[in-house]
Each structure stands twice: as C-alpha cells, then as structure tokens.
Amino acid sequence: MSDENAPNRLLTLAAPAAAALLLSLAMPGPTGWWPLLFVALIPLLWAARRLPPAKSCCMGMFSGLLYHLGLIYWIVFVLNRYGNLHASAAAAVLLLLAAYMAVYMGLFSYFISWLAGGTGRSSASVILLTAPALWVGLDVARGWLFSGLPWMDLGYGLSSQPLLIQAADLGGHHLVTFCVVQINVLIFWLLDRMLSRDKALRRHSLYPLAVFLLLYCVGGYSMFRWRQVEAAASAADQAVVTVVQGNIDQSEKWSPARKEETVRKYFALSGQSFRNGQPIDLLVWPETALPFYPLRDPLMKQVNDFARDRRAHLLTGAPYFNVLPEKKRPVEFYNSALMLDSTGRLTDRYNKQHLVPFGEYVPLRDYLWFVKPLVELVGDFSIGTSSEPLEAERIKAGVLICFESIFPEIARKTAEQGANLLVNLTNDAWYGYSSAPYQSWAMTVMRAVENRRSMARAANTGISGFVAPTGAVIAKSTLFTDAALTESVPLLTEQTFFVKGGHWFGHVCLVLGGMFLLVNAWTKRMRRRNGGRK
C-alpha cells in the first residue's frame, strides 16, 4: 500500500515546492528570471491533473503558501520595526496573509482537478481551454474581496520586458497574466501528448492550434503597438518633469525637531534641477514629503515661497485635514497630494482613495487581538472620492498615492477623466532593501502601458523614475540615495481600449470560469444519469 501511495506523496510535496520555487525566482526582486514564468505552473498542472480534487486543493494551497511567504516576507520587517509588533506577532500576520492568498491557488488546483476528471482522455485539453480564464478570474476575486489585495499577479513578472506587455492596453495586466498561464498550459499539453501513447489524443489537435493563433495575434499586436505608440510619443507635446527622492529616514520622518531639516533637503535637491536654466513644468515630491499639516504649520510659507521663487508647479504629498463640525466625524484626516501653482498658491488637492491595511487603517481590528500595539499607532484616515486630475497648465496629472498604483481601476479612472500624465507619490522606506520596492515599481510600469500615459514616480527612498507610455524605463534611481531626476516626457491623450472597456477583461474571465464549472457539472451529472455512457 505504501508503494502505491508514493507517487501521490511525491506529487503533493515536490510539485508544489517546484512551482513555488520557479515563481519566486521569476518575479521581480533579487533574481527576476522572468522566462521561468512560462514554465512555473507546469508542476502544479501536472499534479492537479493526477490528484483527486481535495488533495489537489491542499497541494495548491501548500504551493501558494510557500510562494507567498517568499513574495511578501518583508511584511515581518515592516510590522516589527515600524508597527512595534513583536517578531512572533509579525510572523503570525505574515502567515495569515500568505495563507489567505494561498487559498486562491488552492481553488485553482481544485477546479483543474475537478474539470480534468482525473486521467481522462481529454483532460489535458480541458485544462488547455479553461485554466487561463480560471486563474485570471481568481485574480480578479482576490483583487476585490476584503478591499482587494492584487499584489504581484503573474503578468507583472514581465514588466521589465516592455515588448511582451503591449497588449495590456487591450485587457490590462489581466490579459498579460492570461497569456502567461496560457503558455504554461500549452507547454503542459505538448508534454502530455509527447509522453502519452494514446493515438486517439490527436483528435484534440485543433485546441492547441486555436491557442497558437491567439498567442500569435497577441504577439503581433504587441509589435505593432510598440512602434505605433513610440511614434505617437515622439510627435506628442512634451513636458519637463522633475522627481525628487529625499531619502528621509523613516524612523525620523515625523520627528518635530527634524521637519525643517527635511523640507530644506527637498529645497536643496530640487534646486539642483533649476541650475541649468531649463524651465521645469512640474516638480514632484514624494508621499508625505511635508511631514506636517500645511494648514497650521508656519513651514508651509517656505514651501509656498520656494514654488513662487522657482516659478514652478509643485506636486507634493502631505497629510491634510478638514474640519466639519456638522458631521458625525468633526475632523477628517487624509493622505493627500497638493498642487501648488507657479505663484506658490495651493490650487488643488487629491485625497488617497485606497488606504493601506495595517498602515492607514486596521481591518477587523476587533478580531485581530494580537495587533493591538499596531492599532494604537495607525491613523484613522478618511477615504478620498475623486479621481479628477490635478492641473498644472498643460499637464493634467492623474495622481496615485503609495500602493494605489497596484489597483488598475484608479489609474484608469483618472485617465478617463482627462489625465495626460500619471504621477505616483510613494514612500517605500518601510520595506528596506527587500524585494518589495522592485515589485511595487513593476506594477507601476504596467499602469503606464494600460493607459498609454507617461509615468513619473517620486519615492522617498526609491525607486523613483520615469516610464514611457510603451512601458520602457526612461530613467530610475537606486534605493536609499538622494536623487533629483529630470526628464522630458510625452503628454498623450489617447483613450485606450482598456480605458474605454478593456478593464472588464478580468471580469469576463471570472464569468467564463464560472460557466466552465457549471457546464462541467451538468455534463458529469448527465453522464451519471446515462450510466457513464458518453
């Protein structure tokens, strides 16, 4: 009996570990070996097809747990150092979060096993047709449930290869993920056919031909759009933008004794960009670059004077509050971006719409008793409601604060409302020298391609830089260095298919995945009624 169970034990341990390792090596970070993305899911598919659904689900969850522990390990550092959580409590939060994210890989493996029906003759062909839609549909669910956590979907792993992600302006990063999964499944299908001795399997050869045609069309479109967008960017109106990386120590950022020194450092770094006499259309400082409330701190006058003396529009992050005595909450606090015009006057403001769990609010605080020290430190911020771009003469800046850059819908809405430049203000100092800043940068790159907008990114400690509408990196800084980068970027106004309606691609995959499951359930039921006859 033990010998018979040996293959199953191997599948349930070796296959998920192999998939987790390949995915970890492929994603942005210390390695970033992106070609591994095209084969990383094959061990998972191989095991899921051969295990019963319940075991397949456990196998997938185990793989997802290993993968996400390696993907978001930096949470322990953040919660321990800046949240004052004991290392064991921080590790518990990491384990819970990784386990939650692993559920989706477990569901994927369960559905694949159930759809394939074990070792049935056409099971690999069923996987070929259904797996990409199921994977993307589950990504959509993860990006929506419990406020959403779409951190590093597979498509982001190709962000360093702009020629491979041009189709994102059709269906967003979900379409790129769809193609990555489709290539994995196609290779799996081919391997299955090579190793199989059943000649009857040849009758399903039309399936891979359809997949080849799809991938060929996506590849051809990418090459065409690359050249087209490059030409449009060259002919477009150009704006000179400077992003400043202050490199302010996070542990001292909010010290009242250091706030004036912080502001003067931004003055000094920004001043370097004006020395060559070139006019700057927009100067960008990072998230909460002003470590005080502008409405009540005398330091704000120095900031106003700096913008006026330099005759530059300044976009900077700062905390902000509104006093509303007639409401239940008389004071509302916001994580904001402020636009100052060339006279130093505050002309517009954007309030962050998607707050960071455990950073700007604590979800389920009544139930997560072990994060009590964190609850006492986290601010209770209000949620912004407008995606209107902030204007600086020719520039209409669509603002994304911090990890808002990982939510495609926020960038899409501001592009739809007329933004001709995307600007990401962030503070990634929390993450240290981990892989998180590289992952955050990768997701920011995809927003530029989806909306065909230049992206300017100002981060406190990096990575700061510029991304072209094609997804090509124009310039970027290194981590934990002082920097002021100035570039001329195109101001495109095209409304991409993604902006108009392509953002529904992921939801279509979710619906299709559900339909596949319903049709398969109905088919199995009919077969049972007919005594197993096909």
C-alpha span between 488 and 468 (Å, rounded) = 10
Mean pLDDT of 12-18: 87
Give pLDDT, residue 368.
52
Inter-residue contact 19 to 63 (CB < 8 Å): yes
Furthest C-alpha separation in the chain: 85
| Order of strands across the sheet that contains 314-323 | 346-351, 331-340, 314-323, 282-284, 238-245, 483-490
Q: Is 326 a catalytic residue?
A: no
Name the catalytic one among 259, 287, 404, 413: 287
The pairing of beta strand 346-351 with beta strand 331-340:
antiparallel
Q: Which residue has the higher pLDDT, 324 or 375?
A: 324
Confidence at 170, pLDDT banded by 50, 70, 90? very high
Give pLDDT, residue 101.
96
Name the catalytic one among 55, 259, 360, 402: 402
Q: Which domains does the chain have, with CATH numbers?
A: 15-232+502-529 (no CATH), 237-318+335-349+387-498 (3.60.110.10)
C-alpha span between 76 and 123 (Å, rounded) = 41
Confidence at 359, pLDDT banded by 50, 70, 90? low
Q: Is 352 a catalytic residue?
A: yes
Give pLDDT, residue 116.
81
Confidence at 366, pLDDT banded by 50, 70, 90? low
Name the catalytic one among 352, 396, 413, 476: 352
**Burial call 24-49: b when 16+ CB within 10 Å, e when fewer:** bbbbbbeebebebbbbbbbbbbbbbb
Name the pTM for this structure: 0.91
Q: Is 509 a catalytic residue?
A: no
